[in-house]
Amino acid sequence: MTQSLLCFVVLLVTAHLALSYFPDEWEEDCKKESGYAGDIGDLNYTDPSSVPRPAKCYMACFMGKQQVMKPDGNIDFKYAKGLYSKVHKGDEKKIRMFHWIVDECAKEYKEYPDKCETAFYYVKCKRLKYDAYNQ
Ligand SMILES: *[C@@H]1O[C@H](CO)[C@@H](O)[C@H](O)[C@H]1NC(C)=O
């Protein structure tokens, strides 16, 4: 319990650091566009049915701005890895971990009904792989 709680806090900090790498307006723009006002760090990723649709569309919007999601709605895994190398420049251990996570999620990639579902699948996959890696 303590360990999973710690993991969660670490993930939030990581998410926050990564977020601060990107312009604040992206977060604001995507909140407006999707109508989602919550914090995606608070979502329960092991219970997908509990995740509101606007939260998924918020993820799609943000990933679109990062260019991790291409305009056609597909995920650019190669670009995602390059981005992790930039965001965590100088921290080889973290870069190796995130590259492994992206590769694993690329392997599990399927077709999803739309951009919002695709984005949610990817974020959920990364979150679960992160937990697995850090166990
Ligand atoms: C998340 O969802 C799972 C599956 O429904 C549940 O077992 C777990 O208690 C939930 N966690 C939280 C923090 O609500």
pLDDT, one tens digit per residue, over 45-68 is 989 999 999 999 999 999 999 999
Residue 10 reports pLDDT greater than 60: no
Element (H, E) at 6: helix 2-20
Q: How far is the CA of 44 from the centre of ligand 1 (A)?
A: 6
**Shortest-distance Cα residue to atom 14 of ligand 1:** 44
Per-residue pLDDT, 21: 79
The best mutation among 46, 50, 51 to test binding of ligand 1, ranked by most ligand atoms within 8 Å of the C-beta, falls on 46
Q: How many CA atoms lie within 13 A of 89 on its CB side?
A: 5
Tell me which architecture the domain covering 22-134 has in CATH: Orthogonal Bundle (1.10)
SS3 content of the chain, % helix, strand, coil (to 5): 70, 0, 25
Residue 77 corresponds to which tokens in the numbers above? Answer: 């895994």
Q: How far is the CA of 24 from the centre of ligand 1 (A)?
A: 30
pLDDT tens, residue by residue, 62-110: 999 999 999 999 999 999 999 999 999 999 999 999 999 999 999 999 9
Q: How far is the CA of 46 from the centre of ligand 1 (A)?
A: 6
The secondary structure of residue 21, as a DSSP letter, is T
Per-residue pLDDT, 15: 57
- Going from N- to C-terminal start, the domains of the chain cover 22-134
pTM: 0.82
The best mutation among 8, 11, 42, 44 to test binding of ligand 1, ranked by most ligand atoms within 8 Å of the C-beta, falls on 44
Question: 53 with 96: CB under 8 angstroms?
Answer: no
Percent with pLDDT over 90 in the chain? 75
Q: How far is the CA of 50 from the centre of ligand 1 (A)?
A: 9
Residue 75, helix vs strand vs coil: strand
Question: 37 with 18: CB under 8 angstroms?
Answer: no
